[in-house]
Chain A
Amino acid sequence: MKHIITRLAEKLPLEFRVLYGQFLLRVVDLEALSLEGDVTGLLGQMAGILILYGVLTTLGLLIAVGRLSGLSAGLIPLLWKTQQSFLSTTMLVAGLIAVISWDNIFPDRRDVMVLGPLPVRPLAILLAKTAACGAVLGIAVLSLNLPMSLALSLVAGGIPHFPRNFAVYWWTTAAASIFVYGAVLALQGFMALLLERRWFLRLSAVTQLGAFAFFLASYFLEPGIGAPAMTVAAADQGMLNRWPSFWFFAMLHRLSGGLPTALDGLARRAWTGLAVVVCAAAVSLALCYLRTMKKTVEEPDLMPGRRGWAPRFGSRLQTAIVRFSVRALARSRQHRVVYAFFLSAAFAIAVSTLKAELTSGVRRPLTTDLMMPTFVMMCLSVVGLRSIFSLPVSLRANWILQVTQLRASEHYIAATRRALLLMAALPVWVVVALLSLGYRPWPHVAVHLVVLALVGSILTDLSLVGVSKIPFACSYLPGKSNIQYMFWAFVVVFVPIAMEFSNYEQRAIRHPRPCAVMLAVLGTMATGVWAFNRRRSKLAALYYEELPTVVITTLGLNSGPLRAPIEMHGTGEAEIHPS
């Protein structure tokens, strides 16, 4: 198989193959990685989450089908629900990939300056970039859908119809993914063509985050699919016209055969939408490559800036660290996008909560409906930003932090804590305070806000245990973060704990004594974790390079003029400098 792929690849033009390899590697910012880091490891972790999700939902489907024992009355609603749900999830993943690879397809200044003087055709660059982005999208969609495509195709029509159902499934999935990705490309392309470059660059960052929020909000707000009769009725009333996942669901059934007439319009929308998006994306890309490449070179090196006002955040050192962190997050696309993953989940929860509040229309009593989501939001924000703190902005520029390290490490660690509190916990607290305006009575709301603040403090200090580094100033070791374990730990461990605690809080806030006990316990925990970290930080040393865990103990018997010095990291691990 590998031999066949290699033979096929060799038939492609050499400049395409070289460019494709280069652009594929740029999915991840290599400068952010530790020397021990591995790009494929990081991408593998991401694919792992998608594969696991696909496998688990497929197993769920097969178990549910097994229980139905082939009764078609129950089988069809189950199949419809699964098909629409997976199309929706695939489109969400495609949207998120489009956001992650924002601007990647378009030529940037570096591409123009490096490739411009070489005899490389712009078309080759365009095709290579499109292929690289397409490969990443394809891998993600394949990882997510492969198990489900096999299961659904088999269950929907048995073995005789398996080949057709399988082909239709993948055609529709590919069409839905291309629709979303192409829509994003078309939007970017026309923005690049119509706006001045400096305005495009400024608006692009905002649009990227807006697209992120849009995809996630759409995913959580779109109507669920019910029984076929209800779906047909909803389609008749035009309620599904705004939701592209239903368009492609209708396309799937049109191609499989057996599409209810009421869904015809939705299927036509899918075909029309796909054609429009593909044409728009192709035209805008082609025009971009022909026109904006020159503009990219001609633009001035310096865009004039303005002095902004920035508040103080405590001592000079704390102010320096917090401002550095805020600016790094605000001005680095890579960091914004990764943090957006966490924030968007929190945003979706906030939207769902707000949706419930708006539809109810009355001041409601405080229940776990609000409490539980707020704990999840706080956790996502704090843990998410703590993860982002691990991605460096510029490893090589860290020398200035080392040269100006004039105080004990504990001061820098305290500044890091302040940055995490101000940037992660405080915004969530403010959002929750605003959401709580629709709830009564006020004393219960006030108590919950105090509880949330204490939970935020505890989460902040827990996430900084063993951490002795300045935000964005330490190399990143992909294998060390174990994203998929963190993700499932959150789902399996934290969410149930949050649920249980919400139930307890709901009971406690109604009685003064249990309420006081709850606040006292939380206060003690918050103080305890803070004190533990503070004490540890007095002995810690700041570090700027993540190293893999030492698995082999060396005896240091190799020859050298002197015994090599040992440097202790804040983690307690020793680094032996080779002699």
Chain B
Amino acid sequence: MLELCRVSKYYAGIPAVDDVSFCARPGEVTGYLGPNGSGKSTTMKMITGLIEMTAGEILFDGRPIQDDLMGYKRRMGYVPEEPYLYNHLSGYEYLTMVAELRDLPARESAEQIDGLLRLLSLSDDRHASISGYSKGMRQKVLIAAALLHNPDLVLLDEPFSGLDVGSALVLRSLIQELAARGKVVLFSSHELDTVERVSSRVVILHRGKMVADDSIANLRKLMELESLEAIFSQLAVEQDSNAMAREIADLIHA
């Protein structure tokens, strides 16, 4: 289980994440939602150990992750928000490098890489340079790299970004399958439809603070709203979208 206990991150006194606490359990898919700039990616990076918390604690299976960061990283797979990859490598070389860095057995990892590339429709372009990959292809490389070592904790920061419909459907099913096999899955997304279908519970952030942490069914009941989109709009969206659209059109004299 992944637990965040009063986690905060401040930049020059300004809170990017402020006193966030929640749990992501094995067998569940936890959706992590919030508008742009609400602190989702910052939280994800703190969970992966890429940035340090200002306050609070992150526990995995009851132990602070800082106690054995390397052991924790062995069990964690992460797909970042932006598909930053080494452009001078091919997809195959990149995944091989990740396997080597994780000290995975050579033969087994080679078979897994071949299989993942095939299943993610990257087999034909495996030896082409990543610099020529589309956004969706890069995203697939990231997903493959995150799953190669069979992690217990899967962190996905906007994983559907850039994926075509077919690949998005596959990923949605994959997320559910991973949870069904006992993994802890935490993913953030702007696609509320997908989150609603896939997640067991959601955590909603607004301006760095947690404003909801419950199952979608309970939230619907409590707030007497039909959809996650309506719940999200009430809790986290500040502007009137119709009024804003009119204002933009007026500004450009459309």
Query: Taking beta carbons and an 8 Å cutoff, which residues of A are in contact with B?
Result: 301-307, 316-317, 319-320, 323-324, 327-328, 331-332, 393-394, 396-397, 399-407, 558-562, 564-565, 567, 577-579
Known contacts A402-B50, A406-B101; decide if A578 and B11 are in contact (CB<8 Å): yes
Select B133's contact among A302, A319, A323, A404, beta carbons within 8 Å.
A302
Give the complex CA separation of A558 and B86 in angstroms: 39
State the CA gap A473–B97 with chains docked (Å): 14
Tell me the bound Cα distance from A302 to B122 in angstroms: 12
Q: Quick check: A407 and B52 within 8 Å, CB to CB?
A: no
A560 touches B100 (CB 8 A): no
Q: Can you list 8 contacts pairing A with B, beta carbon distance less than 8 Å?
A: A301-B132, A303-B129, A319-B100, A397-B86, A403-B50, A403-B73, A406-B101, A565-B52
Partner of B93, one of A316, A327, A404: A327
B211: min CB distance to chain A, Å = 20
Given contacts A405-B70, A561-B8, A567-B52, contact A303 B98 (CB under 8 A): no
Contact between A400 and B98, CB atoms less than 8 A apart: yes
- Are A331 and B88 in contact, CB atoms less than 8 angstroms apart? yes
In the assembly, what is the distance between CA of A72 and CA of B183, in Å? Answer: 90
Q: Is B173 an interface residue (CB 8 A)?
A: no
Pairs A-B, 6 closest by C-beta atoms: A320-B100, A305-B127, A331-B88, A396-B84, A404-B101, A302-B132
CA distance A243 to B84 in the complex (A): 48
Chain B positions within 8 Å of A397 at CB level: 84-87
B89 within 8 A of A: yes
Contacts of A304 in B (CB 8 A): 125, 127-128
The reply to whether A406 and B12 contact each other, CB–CB distance below 8 Å, is no
Task: Give chain A's interface secondary structure class.
Answer: loop
Rounded to whole angstroms, the CA-CA distance of A324 and B93 in the bound complex is: 9
- B80 interface contact, C-beta 8 A: yes
Contact for B10 among A301, A328, A561, CB less than 8 A: A561
CA distance A323 to B97 in the complex (A): 8
Taken residue by residue from 54 to 92, chain B's Cβ proximity to chain A (1 for < 8 Å, 0 otherwise) reads as 110000000000000010011010101010111111101
Residues of A within 8 Å of B101, CB to CB, are 316-317, 320, 400-401, 404, 406
Please measure, in the bound complex, the distance between the C-alpha atom of A301 and the C-alpha atom of B49, giving whole angstroms: 35
Residue pair B73, A560 in contact (C-beta under 8 Å):
no
Asked if residues B103 and A406 are in contact (CB atoms below 8 Å), the reply is yes
- The answer for the CA separation of A317 and B98 in the assembled complex, in Å, is 10
Q: Do B13 and A558 touch across chains, with their CB atoms under 8 A apart?
A: yes
A578 — nearest CB in chain B belongs to which residue? B12
- The interface residues of chain A lying within 8 Å CB-to-CB of B97 are 320, 323-324
The answer to whether A317 touches B73 (Cβ under 8 A) is no
Q: Is B235 an interface residue (CB 8 A)?
A: no
User: Which residues of the partner chain B approach A332 to less than 8 Å between Cβ atoms?
Assistant: 88
Q: Which residues of A contact B76 (CB under 8 A)?
A: 403
Q: Separation in Å of the A316 CB from the closest CB of chain B?
A: 4
Neighbouring A residues of B98 by C-beta, 8 Å: 400, 404
**Which chain B residue lies CB-closest to A401?**
B101
Contact B70–A303 (Cβ < 8 Å):
no
Residue of A whose beta carbon sits closest to that of B100: A320
Cα of A307 to Cα of B95 in the assembled complex, Å:
13
How far, in Å, is B97 (CB) from chain A's closest CB? 5
Complex formed: what's the CA distance from A531 to B221 in Å?
67
Distance in angstroms between the alpha carbons of A331 and B88 in the assembled complex: 6
| Smallest beta-carbon distance B155→chain A, Å | 10
Query: A393 touches which one: B74, B88, B100, B128 (CB < 8 A)?
Result: B88
Beyond known contacts A323-B97, A578-B11: 12 more, CB 8 A cutoff: A302-B125, A302-B128, A304-B127, A306-B127, A307-B126, A307-B127, A393-B87, A393-B88, A394-B85, A397-B87, A399-B50, A567-B52
A404 close to B73 (CB less than 8 A): yes
CA distance A579 to B74 in the complex (A): 30
Residues of chain B lying within 8 A (CB to CB) of residue A302: 125, 128-129, 132-133
Q: Is there contact, CB below 8 Å, between A303 and B55? A: no
Are B102's CB and A394's CB within 8 A? no
**Complex contacts, B104 vs chain A, CB 8 Å:** 316
**Cα-based distance from A579 to B80 in the complex (angstroms):** 25
